[in-house]
Structure 1
Amino acid sequence: MPHGIRLTKLSLYVPIVAAFVLMYYGYWKMWAVYSPAVGRDGSVHLRDLLAVAVRAAEAGGDAVREVRDSSTLNAKSKGKTREGAQELYTEGDLRSHRRMTSLFGNTFPNVKVISEEHDDAKLDTSQLWDYTIPEEIQEKIKSIETVPEQSITVWIDPLDATQEYSERLDHFVTTMVCVAVNGKPTIGVIHKPFSKFTVWAVVGQASNVKPRASYNENDPTIIVSRSHSGTVQSYTKKAFGKNTNIIPAGGAGYKVLSLLDLGKDKQPDMADIYMHVTFIKKWDICAGNAILEALGGHLTTLNGDNIDYRDSPSNEGGLIASIGVDHQKLLAKLPERESLGLKQK
């Protein structure tokens, strides 16, 4: 030992204590960032995401029904849409939002979640996933594909068709979850709270629904918004003929379901095409986009562009959704879009 240097017992213990402190904070940080549903490498199983998405949509649906049953709707206006219609939110929207976002936030703390509603409430710690996979999902989703959590954006619509909900037109109401991976709609869940029926799909893997046996491409029935219609009826008849059958309906989720085969007891209005010619938010359409794509269908802007679901919530290009028909032929029939005032890509 060099002359003049003396080691005390304290100096011997300092490095050991420092090592334990670093280990403790490293361990704490690891569990602050990761949950049991997330791999050490930050990977997430698509099947787990689907299970949580289904559970979240159903938990939101429970909240929507509870508010209806308790008669505490408390409808308020968020302002007016670009078409001048009142945009409402209710206690049902907020309760559903809190449960759905809390379930995702508690399970996947680093995943980006974008919801239609916003509040300052902390995550509800009672909203927890029990890590079980529903039997139906286990049977249909065999592949255990994983994706990096930083590639995921979750879109939540805690109550689609709020206007109709306030009018007690509850058959239009849905709760929706969409998981986008690198901006592409990958998992879609649409839940109907008042019939307790859930539709889900994973692009490239499976779905619990199917397309109808046939669709009318030449003389289609077209479903459109009843409250945000803009000039959709005149635009649609110009494209497909003045005698085109048009169904006004509430809720983007409901409209997508009208294109599918849900069985006689669950079938909403039956349409061949879903069109929207005004501004619309991505939480309204991402789940339906994923479901249609998983079944071989399409949901694009009126220009035929795919919609990017990475972050910005606005879809400025309108939409046309179809399945079982030639989507490109439908696009070719559409009149010039400039008159609609939509942004052109």
Structure 2
Amino acid sequence: MSASPALLMRLVASGFSIAEKAQAIVQQVMSGGDLGVVEKTGANDLQTKADRLVQLSICSSLARKFPKLTIIGEEDLPFQHVDEDLIESGQSEEVLKYSCPPQYSHIKEDEIVVWVDPLDGTKEYTEGLLDHVTVLIGFAYAGKAIAGVINQPYYNYQAGAGAVLGRTIWGVLNLGVFGIQLKEAPEGKHIITTTRSHSSKLVNDCICAMKADEVIRVGGAGNKSSKILWVSHFRRHASDLKRLQRSFTGIMPDEVMPQICGDNRAEVPNRCFVTHRFEAKAPQVCHKRKFNMITC
């Protein structure tokens, strides 16, 4: 009789299925025509109906299946009833085919922090730049990112009739990244991926100083990560010059992908983001703006 999959692999398998459910929600809200846009802190900091529904779906689905997790969401949402049609209970069989790296095989549920950005690239979503949009779910243990799921709801949306819409990328440290084909960057080329909607004189001065061969300006932390995975395969390329100013919910899920592929992404050696568990009674969902603790 085969052993049950390790907790981390079950978590990532759930995250994969939940991210695909989120993809459907994001697409449904867009096709419905009413995005329900509200400004949080200004015109460049928006929230839509998709942000709200996807966060409820992800956090509630995970909390129901893994009640001892600490879950931190991007949006500051009030406690509310969650419709059953937002709950995803499935787990990706593809993810469960893989064995958990030995160093993570004995992790306990209450030792993991999950970081959720329900709709990264919200401004681009409202502007119809749909290929910039991602759904981000990240898993941290002992203060460091160890696994992540990135869904691109509109990947291939300009590929024409018959193209498969959307994809989900996932990875675990010391196991690998899956769902995307890695490519080597052209030898000797210096490629920078940076912000599209939050640029500044400082950012542009830095880009000029780096003498880049190519600058890719895109929205969303997850989208930047997927661009780097596809374009550069981590040949010491800079990514997102405003990365220190991004919210942890945007940083954490995509921070792990470059590490899995063997690089720290930024050209700063031996640096990584550290995330720590907030002490509170489990089960809980933390909303990042005020870090309210909410029982699911």
Band of TM-score, shorter chain? 0.7 to 0.9
1:86 corresponds to which residue?
44
1:288 corresponds to which residue?
254
Deviation at 1:294, TM superposition (A): 1.2
- Length-normalised TM-score, structure 2: 0.78
Return the letter of the residue paired with 1:157: D
2: CA distance, partners of 1:311 / 1:300 = 25
How many pairs are equivalent? 257
Deviations 1:146-201 (A, max 9, x none): 31122110001100100000001001001010011111111111101123201100
Structure 2 portions without partners, runs of 5+: 155-164, 279-287, 290-296
Cα RMSD of the aligned pairs, angstroms, is: 2.8
Deviation at 1:56, TM superposition (A): 1.8
SS at match of 1:103: helix
Distance 1:297 1:305, change over 3 A: closer
Kindly indicate whether the alpha-carbon contact (under 8 Å) linking 2:134 and 2:150 is maintained by their aligned counterparts in 1. Answer: yes
In the TM superposition, what are the counterparts of 1:23-62 in structure 2 within 5 Å? Answer: 45-62=7-24
Deviation at 1:273, TM superposition (A): 3.0
Instruction: Specify which of 214, 219, 223 is matched with residue 250 of structure 1.
Output: 219
Kindly indicate whether the alpha-carbon contact (under 8 Å) linking 2:10 and 2:96 is maintained by their aligned counterparts in 1. Answer: no
SS at match of 1:276: coil
Q: Is 1:154 paired with 2:114?
A: yes
Structure 1 portions without partners, runs of 5+: 1-38, 315-345
Q: Is 1:193 paired with 2:159?
A: no
Deviations 1:57-81 (A, max 9, x none): 111111111100101102110013x
In the TM superposition, what are the counterparts of 1:271-310 in structure 2 within 5 Å? Answer: 272-277=237-242, 279-299=245-265, 305-310=271-276
Return the letter of the residue paired with 2:217: P
Q: Which has the higher contact order (CA 8 A, sep 6+)?
A: 2
1:14 corresponds to which residue?
none
SS at match of 1:69: helix
SS at match of 1:223: strand
Deviation at 1:219, TM superposition (A): 4.0
Q: Is 1:98 paired with 2:56?
A: yes
Q: Is 1:236 paired with 2:207?
A: yes
Instruction: Specify which of 136, 142, 151 is matched with residue 176 of structure 1.
Output: 136
Deviation at 1:261, TM superposition (A): 3.2
Kindly indicate whether the alpha-carbon contact (under 8 Å) linking 2:23 and 2:153 is maintained by their aligned counterparts in 1. Answer: yes
Return the letter of the residue paired with 1:198: T
Which contiguous aligned blocks of 4+ residues in structure 1 show a shift greater than 6 angstroms? none
Q: Is 1:226 paired with 2:203?
A: no
Distance 1:298 1:75, change over 3 A: same
Instruction: Specify which of 226, 229, 246 is matched with residue 260 of structure 1.
Output: 229
Kindly indicate whether the alpha-carbon contact (under 8 Å) linking 1:101 and 1:123 is maintained by their aligned counterparts in 2. Answer: no
2:177 corresponds to which residue?
207
